[in-house]
Structures are given as structure tokens and as C-alpha cells.
Structure 1
Amino acid sequence: MKDLTSAVEHRQEHRFARSRDPRSAAKILVYHPEPEDYVVGIRRALPDAEVVFGSDPDFLRQHIGDTEIILAPRFPVEALQDAQRLKWIQSTNSGVDFLVPVRERLKNTLVTNARGVHGEVMADYVLGTVTMLHWDFPDLLRQQAAQQWKPKFVDPLSGKTIGIVGLGAIGAEIARRAKSAGMTVLGMRRGSARLGEPVDQYYTREEFDEFLSRSDFVVLVVPATTETYKLVGAKELSAMKRSGYLINISRGSVVDELALIRAIGDGQIAGAALDVFEVEPLPPTNPLWTMPNVIVTSHIAGNPTEYPRRILEIFFENARRYLAGEDLINVVNLARGY
């Protein structure tokens, strides 16, 4: 493998400076609770690189000083003050909100994420929970456990409207799945519409209340930023239909959880499917665990099988580009937070 530090200047706003002997091998730090699959793959594909791995903050502090590349889902950002040669952070997640508060320290560091890995499986999750909420599968399962035989009549999903907040790669895939089910699709995003998106009508942030009032299912697919903090609170929940459902696959900080619990308990909305929470793991005392019209999952909506392999495909493509001085894929704009 060519030395990673021999990359020419990046053509975007970031540049890779040669801060040490160009003949030395790059040091790649894998900071992950389950690093084995990543480490084996990297060592096989990049045999000249020095690869260290661990998941302990002391390990991170010990090695970050001369590390050139970090691959991690997240890490204690305090360690960045000791980073002298860091050029590139490859996140194994899509969200990199933990880096936003320290973005000034990363002006000369490229950050890339796992965009593209999660779209299909998250769309599966959303359409699955839409169906479960629509049919009230939690109650059907309770009936099964009690050996109760009850008739039920349900409107077809093709007569329902889904509102998707955040039409990036994941949101667009959800829109395609919903449209294939015959649903009316509403969308809200920053920026203009994209050609070919299966969205029936777009809304701006200023039109959020109308968007919510029209949606039978509101799906949140936005990054955690200052702009999206508690995007959905008591006011927004009161704008939803009483028969409406909230589905959150973004971040727990996007929803005012206490307001949501109250809205569901008071019958202000019909229920929710939640994969993310303000505190994770969700504490045993949280009422969401036992609310009859709430589906709780443990932040798994974006977990396809063979996850390390999918991440390494992105990492190796970016390593090739890094060496060649080409633009990397999945570059994150930390000023925006995604």
C-alpha cells in the first residue's frame, strides 16, 4: 500500500498536510466496542498501515497524539486536544453530532460518515411500524396472548398520508416505499426539491403545523443539531391529528419526550413508534415502556446485517481517494452538523 500521508492536497475546503516523514506508515486508530471485524479487514486491505484498536478512553488518549485516521462510531472529544497529526475521521454512524461542539478543533480534519448504509433497512423499519401502528399490532398481540378472537376492520394504507421530516437519502427511500404502498407523501427538508422524488407536496419549516395536521404518520429523519433540538414539542403534537402517529428514527433530542408522553397519555395523538430516546438505554422507569399504543425499540432501526463490511466498503473507497488526492465521499459539513 502506498503511504497514506503521500496524498496530495484535497480539492475541497480541507487539505491534508504532510506533518511527518512521508515514508512512515499511517497510524489508523479503531475506537469501537467491537473492533475485531474492522481491524481484520483494514489490516488485510492496508497491510502497511499501523492499526491500533480499543474502546477505553485511556487507550484513546495514549494513541491519539500520532494517529492520522480514526474509525469510530463516537469517542470522547476531549482527547482531540492531544491530536497532533489527525487528518481524517471516518464515522461508522450517519450522525456525527458529538463532533459539532468541537468543530473549531477540526478545521484541518476531514470528517466522513456512513451515509448510504442505513437507508434501505430504516425504510423497512418505518413501513413495518406504520403497518403495525395502523393495525394496532400491539393490541393484536395482547389478544393473541389472551387467546381472544375479535373481528377488526381497517382502512387500507393507500388512503393514508405520511409526512417525512428530513428528505435526505433515508427520507427519500422511505418516501419511495410509502408511495409504492399508495400513500400520499408529504415532505419537509432544507433546500429545494430534488428531481424524481416521490413526494406529493413539500412544506417549509414555517408551514410545519399544516404539515403535521395533514399527516396520519409523521416520520422524523433529521440529524441532531441546534435547529432540530426538540423540534417536536407540545405545540407541534397539538397540531397533529388525534388519530396520528409519530415515528422517530432520528435522535431522541429531536422530540420533547415528556410532552410526547403527555400527548399520548391524554389521547392527543394515537401513539408512536420510537427507536431513539433522550436517554439511552431507555430507563426501566420510563412510561414509554408500558404505554399500550407505543412501540419501543433499542436504537436498532439503522442496523443492517454485515454492518462492518458495509462500513469498510466506504472506508476503503475513501482510503483510495485519500491516497489519490481525490474528493472523498460522505463528507460531513460540521457547520451544519451533517
Structure 2
Amino acid sequence: MDKRKIVITHDLDQNLINQIKEVIPDWNIIIGKDEDIWQEHLHDAEIIAGWKKGIEEVLLSPNSKLKWLQTWSAGVNNLPLESLESRNIIVTSANGVHAYPISETIFAFMLGLTRKIHTYVNNQQARKWHHSGMKLEMHEKTVGIIGVGTIGKEVAKISKAFGMKVLGVRHSGKQQQFVDEMYTTNQLNEILPSCDYVVVTLPLTKETHRLFGSKQFDLMKSSAFFINIGRGEIVNEEALIHALREGIIAGAGLDVFEREPLSVDSPLWDMENVIITPHTSGSTEHYNQRVIKNILIPNLKDYISGVQPSVNLVDFSKGY
């Protein structure tokens, strides 16, 4: 009888490999980032950990043995969700892995824009000693967190160290610790005029596509900063550029964009009131360890016991 097979399309430390082997000692475990390592094993793999471009045709073919897909990213908007659902394939995401690194990036944006760190870096390169209009501080301001999941909760918690008022927006409207007032997505426009910082941590779905456009930026304070680490398509980028150019909002910290890589011709590159990072807010030295120990292994234990994996189980009806 052939051994059951799992394919992990990423390089892992031996310590993590050993932990996986302890859970499924009798399985054939294929691990490695190099496509040549796992390509021939895709068709008979029961579990795939790490979605890669170009594997869809094999994994969704009639002869595929795939039953469970564990992604290496929190977002699943790039997956063929309808096809996976139609084949009853379980999908779990890496949601939660990013809470610490992304919240740190968010606060780097917020502090950098508030205390003009990006401006002073430019001044330093030009050997220019200039005050540059420094005056703002972050303490006791109001932050609106649009999407209060694992990342949003961490942002809310850290915000309290700055004495900030925290407004939250989430689909369910369910209350969350560290959030002073919670609203539903339909109430987004109601809170924008009150926010000094608007932080987007939403997944991309049909409902969140271009959720932010001219109307939303017009509702914001002219002194407000906009932070997006969710997905670029949540924002109408032309409307954002207009709002930044015309002083409708004060500035932006952006890790994601409608098209990536961001075009060299984009006006965002040259804007003094914008800080750009290349979709790296979730990068961390602990990434693989958290995916394996916090998500894959607990789910794997359930799976081999005949229980459906529950950690970060994707709800196909919601798209995340």
C-alpha cells in the first residue's frame, strides 16, 4: 500500500521537519522550495502546504488526491476558491502568523509619518539641517482599525499604550478587547471623520474591493494618515493619489498596491507625504515556525484523527 503523502513547498529547518514527522511518522513527507523536489509528487499528494503558481492544473485534475490545502499566506484571494470548494477540498490559511510583524510595520508607518522620520531621512541624505515643520504627536489621538482580526487586535492593543481612542470596523460588529467602539462595515463612513489614523487590515473579497474611494477620503480629516497593509485592490489608487496631492488627507503608509510591483511611473514614489514598503509588512524571522507550530501541526493532528482542521479554516462563502 502506498504511503499517504504531504508536500510542503518551502524550505524548513530540521527541527520543524522532525516535529512534523512525529505527528505523521508513516507518511511520505516531501519538503523543499525547489520545484524539482515536489513537482512529480503533486498529483498524489493528499495535503499541500504552500500554494504555488502553476500547480492549479495538477491539483484540480480529476486524478488529484488533494484533500487539504494549507496556504503560506493569510490572504486567499489569489486561490481558485470556487474550484476548491466544488471539489470539497479543505483550505486553511496562515492568518495570525503576521500579527506581530505587521502591527510593527503599521506603527512604523504611523510614527514615521507623525514624527516625519521619512522627511528627516531624506534631509540626512541631502546633508540638510531643517526643522521641516515637525509638530504632531500620536498620543491620545483616534485610530480607526478597518478589519479587526488578529492583526487589528494587536494594533488596538498597542494603540492603548499611546493612550489612543480605538474605533474598530469588522463584518460582524462583534466587540473586541482593546477596541473602544466597534462598528460594522456598513458604518465605515460614519467613523472616518473622527479618525486621525485609518488603518486597513482587511482581506480582499467582493465586498471589500475598492471599499475606499473618493467619498471615503473626502470624509477623512485633512490631518489624517491612511495606512494600508491589507490588499491594494481594497483602495481606488487614483482616488488615493488625488487625495494625497490635493491635501485632502495628510499622508499614507502603503505596503500593498493595486498592481504589484508598483510601477516605476507611479506618482506615489515621489510623494513627500507617502512611505512605501514592497508588500513586506508580514516578513519575519519566525514565519515558518509559526505556520508549522501554530497552524499546520494542530490541524494535522486533527486531520489524521478524522476531525476537520479548524485553525484558520477558510469560509468559502466569505472568501477568507
What's the TM-score, normalizing by structure 2? 0.88
Q: Does 1:320 align with 2:301?
A: yes
Q: Does 1:27 align with 2:5?
A: yes
| Distance verdict in 2 for CA 1:189–1:74, change over 3 Å | farther
SS at match of 1:311: helix
List runs of 5+ in structure 1 lacking aligned partners.
1-22
For 2:67, give the aligned amino acid: K
Choose which of 30, 43, 48 in structure 2 pairs with 1:65.
43
SS at match of 2:79: helix
- Residues of 2 paired with 1:208 and 1:45: CA distance? 43
**How much does 1:36 deviate?**
2.4
| CA contact 2:175–2:182 (8 Å) conserved in 1 | no
SS at match of 1:36: coil
- Residues of 2 paired with 1:179 and 1:103: CA distance? 43
| CA contact 2:173–2:184 (8 Å) conserved in 1 | no
SS at match of 1:147: coil
Q: Which residue of 2 aligns with 1:140?
A: 120
SS at match of 1:97: coil
**How much does 1:100 deviate?**
5.0
- Residues of 2 paired with 1:264 and 1:210: CA distance? 21
| CA contact 1:70–1:88 (8 Å) conserved in 2 | yes
For 1:238, give the aligned amino acid: D
**How much does 1:276 deviate?**
0.8
List runs of 5+ in structure 2 lacking aligned partners.
none
Q: Does 1:45 align with 2:43?
A: no
Greater shift in the superposed pair: 231-240 or 77-86: 77-86
For 2:167, give the aligned amino acid: L
Q: Which residue of 2 aligns with 1:256?
A: 236
| CA contact 1:94–1:115 (8 Å) conserved in 2 | yes
Map 1:288-307 onto structure 2 (within 5 A).
288-307=268-287
Q: Does 1:188 align with 2:163?
A: no
Q: Does 1:219 align with 2:194?
A: no
Choose which of 161, 164, 167 in structure 1 pairs with 2:142.
161
**CA offsets 1:223-278 (integer angstroms, 9 cap, x no match):** 11000001111111111111111100111111111211121112111111001111
For 1:208, give the aligned amino acid: L
**CA offsets 1:91-116 (integer angstroms, 9 cap, x no match):** 11111112254345454211111122
- Residues of 1 paired with 2:262 and 2:35: CA distance? 23
Greater shift in the superposed pair: 200-209 or 143-152: 143-152
Q: Which residue of 2 aligns with 1:36?
A: 11
| CA contact 2:103–2:151 (8 Å) conserved in 1 | yes
| Distance verdict in 2 for CA 1:38–1:67, change over 3 Å | farther
| Distance verdict in 2 for CA 1:323–1:101, change over 3 Å | closer
Q: Which residue of 2 aligns with 1:11?
A: none
**CA offsets 1:40-77 (integer angstroms, 9 cap, x no match):** 844773253323456659x75x5432221111144343
Greater shift in the superposed pair: 259-268 or 43-52: 43-52
| CA contact 2:85–2:316 (8 Å) conserved in 1 | no
Q: Does 1:98 align with 2:73?
A: no
| CA contact 1:70–1:89 (8 Å) conserved in 2 | yes
Q: Which residue of 2 aligns with 1:239?
A: 219
Greater shift in the superposed pair: 253-262 or 222-231: 253-262
**CA offsets 1:123-158 (integer angstroms, 9 cap, x no match):** 111112111111122212222223333345534312
- Residues of 1 paired with 2:286 and 2:188: CA distance? 37
What's the TM-score, normalizing by structure 1? 0.84
For 2:69, give the aligned amino acid: I
Choose which of 60, 75, 83 in structure 2 pairs with 1:81.
60
**How much does 1:207 deviate?**
2.5
Q: What is the RMSD computed on CA atoms of the aligned residues? A: 2.4
- Residues of 2 paired with 1:233 and 1:38: CA distance? 44
Q: Which residue of 1 aligns with 2:317?
A: 335
Greater shift in the superposed pair: 45-54 or 113-122: 45-54
SS at match of 2:233: helix
Aligned length: 311
Q: Which residue of 2 aligns with 1:114?
A: 94
| CA contact 2:255–2:280 (8 Å) conserved in 1 | yes
